[in-house]
């Protein structure tokens, strides 16, 4: 039985829409939570990750009554995105909603790339590929279909790191996430005439399976005294994809429990 309410108000109704969400392999991550939230509003969801675990997420969504399909895809290269495009076309799937959530680190890597400005250029380039180029390539893939439909929603999962704040020894990630905001605003201007909106969500400290102990501790210092949840970020993503958000474009919505506005720390 579907968990989606029987009568979704028209302003939130995504019935008949296909949402493509990248980086949805983790059961505790923002991507999977976004897929569930969009599915509960009536969208069919296509989710990706770099490993076989995506099929477990699809099964969980289907068990909840959500129409879901999954793809193993590496999105930081043209070849990887071209392969995904071919699979979507073969399945007659044409997304008009895309959530660019893939990035930071995948399960095949030991740790997130980080370092200050004296770091290795290869790490810098790799971080940009994972966190920014992947969003560019996936968006480039879906925009022609959105233009043809004269309707589309692009939601980029950025971060407070880069656009709003910065952590120590994290220059590449901060630059990539700030770049994602620039990409978002450029898309908003270029695609508005086609009925396509583009917005970014900037999470702060979020309690996912990849959250470090030090990050959990930082979460206790924000004004709301806790880390956020993937579901709280997903609710913003889902709203930005709805018909009711049609006049919101080029914006960055910060989801950080007030951390970026609090001047004092205790």
173 is catalytic: yes
Query: What residues contact 228, with CB distance under 8 A and at least 6 apart?
Result: 203, 204, 205, 206, 207, 219, 255, 256, 257
| Active-site pick, 32, 124, 173, 205 | 173
Residue 81 has which token pair? 């995105």
Are 192 and 249 within 8 A, CB to CB?
A: yes
Sign (positive or negative) of CA dihedral 161, 208, 70, 146 = negative
Which DSSP symbol is given to 129?
A: I
Which has the closest alpha carbon to 183: 238, 250, 122? 250
Are 96 and 145 within 8 A, CB to CB?
A: yes
Catalytic site positions: 173
């Amino acid at each position: 039985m579907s968990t989606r309410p029987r009568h979704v108000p028209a302003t939130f109704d995504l019935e008949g829409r296909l949402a493509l969400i990248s980086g949805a392999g983790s059961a505790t991550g923002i991507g999977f939570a976004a897929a569930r939230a969009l599915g509960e509003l009536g969208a069919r969801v296509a989710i990706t990750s770099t490993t076989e675990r995506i099929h477990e997420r699809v099964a969980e969504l289907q068990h909840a009554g959500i129409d879901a399909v999954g793809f193993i895809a590496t999105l930081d290269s043209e070849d990887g995105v071209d392969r995904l495009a071919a699979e979507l076309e073969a399945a007659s799937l044409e997304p008009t909603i895309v959530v660019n959530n893939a990035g930071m680190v995948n399960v095949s890597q030991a740790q997130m790339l980080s370092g200050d400005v004296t770091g290795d250029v290869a790490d810098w380039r790799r971080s940009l590929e994972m966190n920014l180029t992947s969003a560019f390539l996936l968006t480039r893939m879906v925009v022609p279909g959105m233009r043809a439909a004269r309707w589309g929603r692009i939601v980029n999962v950025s971060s407070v790191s880069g656009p709003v704040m910065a952590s120590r020894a994290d220059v590449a990630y901060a630059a990539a996430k700030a770049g994602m905001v620039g990409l978002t605003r450029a898309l908003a201007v270029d695609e508005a005439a086609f009925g396509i909106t583009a917005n970014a969500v900037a999470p702060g400290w979020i309690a996912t399976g990849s959250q470090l102990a030090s990050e959990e501790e930082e979460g206790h210092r924000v004004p709301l005294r806790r880390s956020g949840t993937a579901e709280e970020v997903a609710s913003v993503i889902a709203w930005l994809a709805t018909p009711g958000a049609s006049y919101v474009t080029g914006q960055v919505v910060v989801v950080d429990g007030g951390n970026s506005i609090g001047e004092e720390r205790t």
